[in-house]
Amino acid sequence: MHRRLLRPTLLPVGRSLAATAAKTAQPSSLSTAGRRLLCTVPREGAHSVHFRNSQSVHPLGVEKRALPEGEWVNPTVNHVWTSDEIKERLATQPRHQPETLADQACVGFLRAAYWTFNTVTGYKAANPTTESVAFRLIFLESVAAVPGMVAAQHRHFRSLRTLSRDYGWIHTLLEEAENERMHLLTFLRAFEPGPFTRATVFLTQFGFGSAFIGLYLLHPRTAHRLVGYIEEMAVRANRRAILRRAILLSGATLRRRAARSPQVVTYTNILEMMETPGTHLHDGWREMPAPEIAKTYWRLDGDATMYEVLQQVAVDETNHRDVNHTFASMAYDDPNPYVAKHAEAQAASAAYWQTLSAPVEGRGKDFDMKERLAPEAGGGAKAAM
Ligand SMILES: [Fe+2]
Ligand SMILES: [Fe+2]
């Protein structure tokens, strides 16, 4: 009997579950008679033909293969942006005008934080090196993944202790935290962090994490507003940096002055530099292949490049901007207007993976889809069980 297979968004996931299954190794009703039939489309490093590479736990507890033979498919589904959505969301970037004293404090704090960070690290936005941008991406994404988890945890515990509903915010916040963590994991596959980066990330988590937890406890709206401004800053087009780069690349006499001024790095600027011949980012990153983890997460083609990944990341940030500014303007018990988007993303993800997954004939094969061996040969399913 053929079973429909690999619904990545619905099945239990993870090595811990696989490990648990391996310990118990109890044959289930899904064993040989109800053979789990596997998808047929080979896709190296992503959604594969084999259960070892899938996110499902084998009913007989067979261990999964470790990386790099297979890549994990993240069950927290993200919206994959189309090229039209990318163009539109990067071309039109709304900005929230500070209204309250708290809003202005957030903007002032961020400006000071970025100026200090750029000055201390000597960042030159006109034509930064790939190393300096990689450091920034890893550092900033390690920070960006904090607020969603803090906010989700806060609302989760609040729901428990007040015996009340959450109104659908938690899932969106968790999805944001996971999305930011996937940004980080993607960059870690492409750029190796050194001891300085690791130490900076480690220490910053204590400082920023503690401060954000305190802020969320005291004033959740301001916390969301702060994140909204951070996301604006992460993605907006920095016109001054673009102008300076134009001067720098044209070899004008202002070259030295242009290169001296620190600026905020934004994803829009990174993409623009990757498109501009003569920049370090164009030379170093324009043709870089996308890491497998990114191709799986954003469901990109096998020959996708880092440029396409950065487009997805950039537009993810515009989404975080919108979500957090919206949450900052809502009462804590207003229903989350983004809940439906998650259902759409889940449906699109399931449709995509099922396109790549077709049932195959399992008769005469073992549970691992190899030819079944005779019992006397010392192999086969019974020996494994
Ligand atoms: Fe991010
Ligand atoms: Fe973000």
Distance 175 CA to ligand 1 centre (A): 12
Q: Per-domain residue ranges for the chain?
A: 1-75+345-385, 83-337
pLDDT higher than 60, residue 1: no
pLDDT higher than 50, residue 17: no
Distance 283 CA to ligand 1 centre (A): 23
Q: What are the structure tokens assigned to 300, written together?
A: 């990109």
- In order of 6, 19, 30, the CA distances from 39 in angstroms are 8, 23, 16
| CA–CA separation, 291 and 302 (whole Å) | 10
| CA–CA separation, 4 and 269 (whole Å) | 44
Distance 152 CA to ligand 2 centre (A): 15
pLDDT in tens, 361-384: 677 777 666 777 776 655 444 444
Distance 144 CA to ligand 2 centre (A): 6
Distance 317 CA to ligand 1 centre (A): 6
Distance 230 CA to ligand 1 centre (A): 10
Contacts of 332 (CB under 8 A, 6+ apart): 155, 167, 220
pLDDT in tens, 109-149: 999 998 888 887 777 777 888 998 999 999 999 999 999 99
Smallest CA-to-CA distance from 130 within 257, 250, 286, 249 is with 286
| CA–CA separation, 194 and 154 (whole Å) | 33
Running DSSP on this structure, what letter comes out for residue 337?
T
Q: What are the structure tokens assigned to 362, written together?
A: 């399992």
Ligand that comes closest to the CA of residue 229: 2
Distance 381 CA to ligand 1 centre (A): 45
CA angle 133, 134, 139 (to 5 degrees): 100
Distance 17 CA to ligand 2 centre (A): 30
Ligand that comes closest to the CA of residue 183: 1
Distance 49 CA to ligand 1 centre (A): 31
Give, rounded to a whole angstrom, the gap between the first and last alpha carbons of the chain.
21
pLDDT higher than 70, residue 92: yes
- pLDDT, residue 149, reads 98
Ligand that comes closest to the CA of residue 233: 2
Distance 384 CA to ligand 2 centre (A): 46
| CA–CA separation, 155 and 269 (whole Å) | 35
Distance 245 CA to ligand 1 centre (A): 24
pLDDT in tens, 155-197: 999 999 999 999 999 999 999 999 999 999 999 999 999 999 9
Q: The whole model's pTM is what?
A: 0.74
In terms of pLDDT, which residue wins out, 305 or 349? 305
Ligand that comes closest to the CA of residue 180: 1
In terms of pLDDT, which residue wins out, 312 or 252? 312
Distance 182 CA to ligand 1 centre (A): 8
| CA–CA separation, 185 and 277 (whole Å) | 28
Q: By the 8 A CB rule, do 118 and 263 touch?
A: yes
pLDDT in tens, 278-289: 999 999 999 999
Ligand that comes closest to the CA of residue 323: 2
For domain 83-337, give the CATH superfamily.
Answer: Alternative oxidase (1.20.1260.140)
| CA–CA separation, 71 and 108 (whole Å) | 42
| CA–CA separation, 204 and 121 (whole Å) | 15
Counted residue by residue, the chain has a size of: 385
